[in-house]
Amino acid sequence: MPLMHKEDVPDFLGVRREKLEEFRKRGVEPFGGRFPVRQRAADILANYPEFEGKDVTIAGRLVAKRGHGKASFGDLQDFSGRIQIYARLNDMGEDAYELFKKLDIGDIIGVRGKVFTTKKQEITVAIDTFQLLSKSLRPLPEKWHGLKDVDLRYRQRYLDLIVNPEVKEVFLKRIKIIRAFRRFLEGRGFLEVETPMMQPIAGGAAARPFITHHNALDIDLYLRIAPELYLKRLLVGGFEKIFEINRNFRNEGISTKHNPEFTMMELYQAYADYTDMMEITESLITAVVKEVAGSMKVTYGDHVIDFTPPWAKMSMLDAVREYTGEDFSHCDPSKARRQAASLGIEVAPDAGWGNIVNEVFETLVEDRLVQPTFITGHPVEVSPLAKRNKEFPCLTDRFELFINTWEIANAFSELNDPIDQRMRFEQQLRERSRGVEEAHAMDEDYLTAMEYGMPPAGGLGIGIDRLVMILTNSPSIRDVILFPTMRPLDGR
């Protein structure tokens, strides 16, 4: 269905507006009110013996219509599915039947009638009375072509949901996934909390924020890039097991894996560490996969992803060594720079050892990690909120979970030393002074909270959208977000 030009609008609106006025002249309100729905299409179809010959009251959108003189058939679609309806002059009376014939595809109607089966054994509702609830002024996409334009599907999701039933199934599965997350976490004693979406300082992750302005306070605020620092303030306040499922906002590029607004689950557990987070991650995701997919093996594109535990575990240094042959376990930035160059990777002249190792990993290793794999031991430079590893101080007690080559989860033993945290924030400020906009800002209030004492803790973040993509075999993150961010049609 192509986008409509202004000169095309009267061609399809005119006839429908004429019908709208005709309904009004006949005393029929084309945009009706309350209609007491008592049954759903799917329930009638699934339990026909119970409904045979009985009166039912249903409502939905007219998505097909077939006229045969003194009798007409149509298809009524509600949220549960589609059912055939039958209108007959002798049953309805001449006036009502004439009004029924004037209905358009797309009109929303309420129907009262009896359930029967046709000669072709199709379960059908024979209309006694009907009520126009909302006149559709625009035609739905053509029946046989549907809504195939991907850009238009994302812009007009309401049409996508009407004409592409499989799209609704994706979002029903998304709802089921998030519900399973909550059920699992609540079963483990975690409490769901809410933290600010607008924050005076953008922190908790390395990303560019969206900036807004509060007129009454005359201050700039940032849409949060992560809830982390506020959730950890709650650890200081005495909450021990908390989680939040909500939106994050990052003012960065759009791709099949990135949307500026996305959904994350973050949790924190006092007196735990990253190994506890690894157990929770594996148990949580396998429970969700089993409930939603019914199997531990899920097909995504050309891959069959096996979620059967236990999952593979590798340190970042071991993974780099395995896939590149280079050993970076020396913490020497000069040597690391030479190694990266030998691998064809250019790094900034002042890049630290940790940034170089991370760049090599992201460039040459991530694409190899198809099956669920925990990558542990991230450099301090790229982990400013994680606790240092005691045996290898250049690294942190952290992991990322990769599935289908994508980062799905990130977790670590939380840094609870306010002195070390201040030093790392100061290092991040130096990064910002060199033009790295994604570097963390200094959050003095968070440091103050830490100085009152934050218990040792493990923290975990899981990207809901990417996991939904995998479990629904969706090629783009826009396929699993009801209303993804889009460029305006005029290109501005």
Output the pTM of the full model: 0.91
| Residue 145 pLDDT > 80 | no
pLDDT the model gives residue 207: 86
What average pLDDT does this structure show over 462-489? 95
What amino acid occupies position 27? G
Which pLDDT band holds residue 8 (cuts at 50, 70, 90)?
Answer: very low
| Residue 144 pLDDT > 50 | no
What average pLDDT does this structure show over 29-57? 97
Query: In this prediction, what percent of the chain has a pLDDT beyond 90?
Result: 85
Does residue 150 form part of some domain? no
Question: What does the pLDDT look like over 300-356, one tens digit per residue?
Answer: 999 999 999 999 999 999 999 999 999 999 999 999 999 999 999 999 888 999 999
What is the chain's mean pLDDT, rounded? 93
- Are 123 and 219 found together in one domain? no
- Are 133 and 175 found together in one domain? no
Which pLDDT band holds residue 143 (cuts at 50, 70, 90)?
Answer: low
Does residue 3 form part of some domain? no
Does residue 326 form part of some domain? no
- Are 37 and 96 found together in one domain? yes
Annotated binding site: 400, 407
Closest CA to 410 of 262, 264, 261, 255: 264
Closest CA to 227 of 477, 430, 446, 436: 446
Question: What does the pLDDT look like over 379-426, one tens digit per residue?
Answer: 999 998 999 999 999 999 999 999 999 999 999 999 999 999 999 888
- Are 123 and 186 found together in one domain? no
Phi then psi for 230, rounded to 5 degrees? -75, -40
pLDDT the model gives residue 146: 54
- Are 39 and 73 found together in one domain? yes
Q: What domain range is 200 assigned to?
A: 163-311+371-479
pLDDT the model gives residue 141: 82
**CATH number of residue 443's parent domain:** 3.30.930.10
- Are 64 and 178 found together in one domain? no
pLDDT the model gives residue 457: 98
Does residue 209 form part of some domain? yes
pLDDT the model gives residue 77: 97
pLDDT the model gives residue 434: 74
CA distance 405 to 407: 7
Question: Domain count of the chain?
Answer: 2
SS3 for 420-480 is HHHHHHHHHHHHHHCCCCCCCCCCHHHHHHHHCCCCCEEEEEEEHHHHHHHHHCCCCHHHC
Which pLDDT band holds residue 5 (cuts at 50, 70, 90)?
Answer: very low
The DSSP symbol for 368 reads: G
What average pLDDT does this structure show over 5-13? 55
Does residue 330 form part of some domain? no
- Are 193 and 132 found together in one domain? no
CA distance 460 to 268: 7
Q: What 3-state class would DSSP assign to 383? A: coil
pLDDT the model gives residue 478: 96
- Are 111 and 174 found together in one domain? no
Question: What does the pLDDT look like over 167-205, one tens digit per residue?
Answer: 999 999 999 999 999 999 999 999 999 999 999 998 888
Question: What does the pLDDT look like over 244-298, one tens digit per residue?
Answer: 999 999 999 899 999 999 999 999 999 999 999 999 999 999 999 999 999 999 9
Number of other residues whose CB lies within 10 A of the CB of residue 312: 12
Does residue 489 form part of some domain? no
pLDDT the model gives residue 489: 81
- Are 173 and 34 found together in one domain? no
- Are 250 and 296 found together in one domain? yes
**CATH number of residue 107's parent domain:** 2.40.50.140
CA distance 479 to 150: 9
Does residue 198 form part of some domain? yes
Q: Of 140, 174, 196, which one is at a domain's C-terminal end?
A: 140
More confident residue, 442 or 246: 246
Annotated binding site for Mg(2+): 400, 407
